[in-house]
Structure 1
Amino acid sequence: MNVEALKPPAAEPEKRGRKASKETRRQQLIEATIDSLARRGYSETTMADVADGAGLSRGIVNFHFESKEKLLVATLQYMADEYAAHWRSALQKAGDDPARQLDTLVAADFDRSICNKRKLAAWCAFWGEAKSRPTYQALCGARDRAYQNVFIDLCRKLKEDGGYDFDPVATALGLSAMLEGLWLRLMMGTEEVTRETAHQAACECLASAFPKHFSRDGQRAGKAATE
């Protein structure tokens, strides 16, 4: 009997191991890029900074990303995917009630996993470059439109349910701009603005726009509260 023939092939496990290691290193480099963007800003972040921050050789950075621009695009892609997965998961868990869905989406924007000084600073670094970099605009544009369309749809449903007199598209745009503005305030690090106070301010806006569905204490009101 050929004993060697009975042994499982070693190539496939080794291949999986190499793949896992490559993905781990890429993730390390992306996380280190987020750290560098938060500390140094966009223009001051270098491949060497990222390598040092990840505890990897500079050759490893070049092997995985070839250039600073490719590394930054991959980092923006990761952050955009993470944000999209976060709000989509929150929306799915909210059920079918539009008021609950909108409430959940707003609350999700202030979850610590995505709303922290490190990631907010990295987002701001990318926002500052977006106007002159079409790649960044294209990368986030479709995701932004999908998010905005959900807001428009929810505003339209709440208008019909509550008999409100507003334009759903303009109201959705205002809500999105309000959330982005609160993120900027949080990034600036002023003492009076925390994740909790920012969320409270967002709830105040919901109560103003949809008084039959939200109260000023951050709770859902009226019909929505009884369902």
Structure 2
Amino acid sequence: MKSTNAPADGVAPGDRKGRKASKETRQLQLIEATIDSLAKRGYAETTLANVADGAGLSRGIVNFHFESKERLLIATLQSMADEYSAHWMGAYEKAGPSFAARLWALVAADFDRKITTRRKLAAWCAFWGEAKSRPTYQALCGARDARYQQLFEELVTGLKAEGAYGFEPKATTLSLCAMLEGLWWRLMMSDGLTREEAHAAAIEFLVGLFPRHMSREGPNTP
């Protein structure tokens, strides 16, 4: 006698889960291969064919999962933007309640080895080059989203109150974020600046802005 609990579609829950995992694995393989291709060939020369070859998968698999180069590229950019956001959010949450520790953690996260690999920076650069004419790219490239900017302003405002600094918080936040974006741009351009040098430069900026809260060794303990 057949069980009355059998699924209506005849597919066991475990099988459905396995198929879903397989689909996610394939898509991740293709996204990683796209990042590699963008880093190696640039935007214009990246094709579905060389992405498939780089992933070790058939070209039909690429078409099945993404249908077009544009959809694959958007998925890749979305994946990179999600990774970036999750990374800085995690750093912020782990830093504790101190304004100084949180700001220090956010800046350090921007230059973490996981985020600033050469291949990922090159892929970001390729997307930025296309962003002006593609609104979808422009929105996704702005990984430093409104919440990110808001957090910086909140931290800068809190540090001003604690340290009785004389700067204006909104303008100071703008200059701080512009400095970080500029260092990232130089890293993307591969002009010889290293990740460690960029992070050290950002620390100098923090120490100059918040001398009562920051030193080159880290945030001062209250």
What residue number does 2:218 align with?
219
What residue number does 1:52 align with?
53
What residue number does 2:77 align with?
76
Q: Is the 8 A contact 2:31 2:75 kept in 1?
A: yes
What is the Cα-based RMSD across aligned positions, in Å?
2.0
Question: AA paired with 2:218?
Answer: Q
What residue number does 1:41 align with?
42
What residue number does 2:174 align with?
173
Gaps of 5+ in 1: none
Q: Is the 8 A contact 1:200 1:218 kept in 2?
A: no
Structure 1 stretches (4+) deviating beyond 4 angstroms? 4-10, 140-143
Q: CA deviation at 1:144?
A: 1.5
Q: CA deviation at 1:185?
A: 2.2
Distance of 1:34 and 1:142 partners within structure 2: 17
TM-score of the aligned structures, taking structure 1 as reference length: 0.89
From the two aligned structures, give the one with the greater helix fraction: 1
What residue number does 1:186 align with?
187
Question: AA paired with 1:106?
Answer: V
Q: Is the 8 A contact 2:81 2:143 kept in 1?
A: no
Q: Is the 8 A contact 1:131 1:137 kept in 2?
A: yes
Query: Which residues in structure 2 correspond to 1:112-191 (within 5 Å)?
Result: 112-141=113-142, 144-191=145-192
1:130-171 CA-partner distances (Å, limit 9, x unpaired): 111111233355852111111111111111111112221221
Question: AA paired with 1:126?
Answer: F
Distance of 1:161 and 1:115 partners within structure 2: 32
Question: AA paired with 1:35?
Answer: D
Q: CA deviation at 1:8?
A: 7.9
Distance of 1:170 and 1:143 partners within structure 2: 17
Q: Is the 8 A contact 1:204 1:218 kept in 2?
A: no
1:172-192 CA-partner distances (Å, limit 9, x unpaired): 12111211222222233344x
Worse overlay, 178-187 or 67-76: 178-187
Question: AA paired with 1:226?
Answer: T
CA pair 99-203 structure 1, distance change in 2 beyond 3 A: same
What residue number does 2:201 align with?
201
CA pair 198-32 structure 1, distance change in 2 beyond 3 A: same
Distance of 1:218 and 1:156 partners within structure 2: 22
TM-score of the aligned structures, taking structure 2 as reference length: 0.91
CA pair 14-219 structure 1, distance change in 2 beyond 3 A: closer
Q: Is the 8 A contact 1:28 1:54 kept in 2?
A: yes
Q: Is the 8 A contact 1:34 1:119 kept in 2?
A: yes
Q: SS in structure 2 opposite 1:199?
A: helix
CA pair 195-141 structure 1, distance change in 2 beyond 3 A: closer
1:3-51 CA-partner distances (Å, limit 9, x unpaired): x649987632222111111110000000011111111111111111111
Question: AA paired with 1:29?
Answer: L
Q: Is the 8 A contact 1:34 1:118 kept in 2?
A: yes
Length, aligned pairs only: 219
Q: CA deviation at 1:82?
A: 0.5
Residue 23 (structure 1) aligned with residue 24 (structure 2) = yes
Distance of 1:88 and 1:134 partners within structure 2: 25
Residue 13 (structure 1) aligned with residue 14 (structure 2) = yes
